[in-house]
């Protein structure tokens, strides 16, 4: 059979077709950016959109316009979310690499937050002296509030890296494990007779006895199953320690599913993959509370905490009074039992003595990695309210703050934390200055 010979005309048209396809590939992103022909799922995670830069002779000559324009145009490329997901999926599926900032992949695709893993290893240990000082001050505040009829409780929420340390990557499992902030605080708070509920210790026990995982494969927070165990335990602790008589809870509508809900895949989402790793089979249920009985009342609660505290906020109105509040990271009022948030939401603008007056319970809840800042200066601010600084003290603190703002290494560290925890950078510098002043006070 004779071999087929390509004619010059056929070769010409095939080259044209190939050129047209290449041209289309080059033009499609620009067309998508201009007309948004295809609706794309946005990327997960937090990022600041680059603004369109202003063109002026000044920005051109100081070389700020071109880099800003490059960054802006890069974010406007058509199909950008799709291309990022494709890159991430290939890296994850082929090489078991993640492209998310500070995410660590462990054994059996277990996901960890790198910052929390470093905290578990003790790499961010703040030192015995600072921990001693914070514990003494917290105990002083606990005693002060107790004299006004308020129960103060410190709750340590578990860190995933602690509970599942055996499933971290080899370089973390084999790394030196020194004294951590969690270990020191759990030891010293208990020794000082602080009202302490160490959820980390409970979770280490529950991991081996629970019917379902206490942390999801693709989540940074406790699983919804374990969260409900924690809520029941926490409310029971408050009931016994404060001698309160409030409604009991029970479980209804239990379902078992391997489709993650709510925060059970919050870490997997930021990987920005086309297909997330298969989730653990989890139990999802609803906590119900018995109606208020004669002789029962709902205590007035102030909850201060990090993102783990959001897990219990949904249940607070069933047990605590409408005057209850949640101070997120001790910076902003994010929840009010009465429904509407107060006009003044910035915690640093509130009169602490007024806010604490009439409170039956104050719960301070932080997870292990966030103990670098202990309680985000809650106890320091309350201590200050009952032992106020003088005018000279305040001037000294502002002077220390100005000095700290010149420290580039500290500024970089605080900027990272401001981004991670969504706390204003000025607030973090204020806390650092107060802490530095208290060391010499």
**Residue 261 CA to its chain's centroid (Å):** 17
Least Cα distance to 116 among 54, 66, 158, 178 occurs for 158
The pLDDT score that the predictor gives to residue 19 is 76
**Residue 72 CA to its chain's centroid (Å):** 28
Sorted by where each begins, the domain ranges of the chain are 103-371, 389-441
pLDDT digits (tens, 9 = 90+) for 345-384: 999 999 999 999 999 999 999 999 999 999 999 999 999 8
The pLDDT score that the predictor gives to residue 153 is 98
Residue 422: is its pLDDT beyond 80?
no
Note the residue count of the chain: 441
Q: How far apart are CA 100 and CA 88, in angstroms?
A: 8
Q: How far apart are CA 247 and CA 402, in angstroms?
A: 50
46 pLDDT band, cuts 50/70/90, is: very low
Q: How far apart are CA 166 and CA 107, in angstroms?
A: 8
Residue written as token pair 């009465």? 338
The count of other CB atoms within 10 Å of the CB of residue 255 is 11
Residue 184's φ and ψ, nearest 5 degrees, are -70, -45
Mean pLDDT, the chain, whole residue set = 84
Higher pLDDT, 281 or 103: 281
Higher pLDDT, 18 or 405: 405
Q: Alpha-carbon torsion 321, 325, 326, 329, what sign?
A: negative
DSSP state of 346: B
DSSP of 334-396, one letter per residue?
EEETTSSPPS--BGGGS-HHHHHTT-SEEEEEEEGGGGGGTTTTHHHHHHHHHSPPPHHHHHH
- Which residues touch 343 (CB under 8 Å, ≥6 apart)? none
**What torsion do the CA atoms of 130, 357, 236, 339 make, to the nearest 10 degrees?**
-110
Question: 281 near 258, Cβ under 8 Å?
Answer: yes
Residue 68: is its pLDDT beyond 80?
no
Least Cα distance to 167 among 102, 112, 216, 99 occurs for 112
The pLDDT score that the predictor gives to residue 72 is 53
Question: 205 near 219, Cβ under 8 Å?
Answer: no
Q: What is the mean pLDDT of residues 372-400?
A: 88
Q: How far apart are CA 218 and CA 245, in angstroms?
A: 38
Q: How far apart are CA 18 and CA 148, in angstroms?
A: 81
Q: What is the mean pLDDT of residues 208-230?
A: 93
Q: How far apart are CA 332 and CA 342, in angstroms?
A: 10
Helix ranges (DSSP H) in 111-223: 114-120, 128-147, 160-163, 170-173, 181-191, 199-209
Q: How far apart are CA 52 and CA 73, in angstroms?
A: 8
Q: What is the mean pLDDT of residues 156-182?
A: 94
Residue 144: is its pLDDT beyond 70?
yes
Least Cα distance to 348 among 370, 378, 307 occurs for 378
pLDDT digits (tens, 9 = 90+) for 324-345: 999 999 999 999 988 788 888 9
Residue 77: is its pLDDT beyond 70?
no
Residue 200's φ and ψ, nearest 5 degrees, are -60, -45
Residue 249 β-bridge partners: 289
């Amino acid at each position: 059979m004779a071999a087929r010979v390509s004619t010059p005309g056929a070769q010409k048209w095939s080259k044209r077709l190939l050129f047209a396809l290449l041209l289309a590939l080059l033009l499609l992103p620009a067309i998508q950016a201009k007309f948004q022909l295809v609706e794309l799922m946005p990327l997960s995670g937090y990022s600041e959109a680059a603004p369109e830069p202003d063109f002026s002779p000044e920005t051109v000559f100081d070389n700020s316009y071109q880099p800003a324009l490059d960054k802006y145009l890069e974010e406007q490329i058509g199909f950008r979310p799709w291309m990022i997901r494709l890159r991430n999926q290939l890296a994850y599926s082929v090489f078991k690499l993640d492209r998310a900032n500070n995410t660590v992949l462990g054994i059996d695709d277990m996901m960890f937050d790198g910052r929390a893993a470093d905290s578990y290893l003790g790499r961010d240990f703040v030192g015995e002296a600072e921990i001693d000082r914070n514990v003494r001050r917290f105990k002083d505040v606990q005693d002060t509030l107790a004299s006004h009829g308020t129960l103060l409780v410190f709750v340590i929420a578990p860190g995933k890296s602690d509970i599942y340390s055996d499933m971290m990557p080899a370089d973390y499992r084999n790394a030196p494990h020194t004294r951590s902030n969690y270990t020191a605080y759990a030891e010293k708070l208990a020794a000082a007779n602080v009202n302490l509920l160490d959820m980390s210790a409970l979770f280490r026990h529950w991991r081996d006895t629970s019917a379902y995982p206490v942390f999801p494969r693709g989540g940074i927070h406790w699983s919804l199953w374990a969260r409900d165990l924690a809520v029941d335990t926490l409310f029971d602790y408050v009931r016994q320690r404060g001698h309160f008589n409030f409604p009991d809870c029970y479980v209804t509508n239990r379902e078992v599913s391997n489709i993650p809900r709510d925060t059970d895949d919050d870490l997997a989402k930021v990987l920005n993959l086309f297909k997330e790793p298969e989730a653990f089979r989890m139990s999802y249920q609803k906590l119900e509370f018995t109606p208020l009985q004669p002789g029962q009342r709902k205590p007035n609660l102030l909850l201060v905490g990090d993102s783990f505290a959001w897990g219990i906020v949904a249940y607070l109105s069933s047990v605590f009074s409408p005057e209850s509040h949640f101070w997120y990271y001790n910076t902003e009022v994010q929840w009010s039992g009465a429904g509407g948030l107060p006009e003044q939401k910035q915690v640093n603008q509130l009169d602490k003595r007024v806010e604490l007056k009439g409170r039956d319970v104050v719960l301070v809840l932080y997870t292990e990695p966030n103990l670098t800042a202990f309680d985000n200066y809650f106890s320091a601010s309350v201590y200050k309210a009952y032992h106020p600084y003088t005018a000279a003290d305040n001037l000294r603190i502002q002077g220390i703050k100005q000095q700290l703002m010149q420290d580039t290494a500290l500024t970089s560290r605080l900027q990272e934390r401001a981004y991670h925890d969504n706390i204003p950078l000025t607030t973090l510098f204020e806390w650092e200055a107060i802490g530095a002043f208290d060391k010499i006070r």
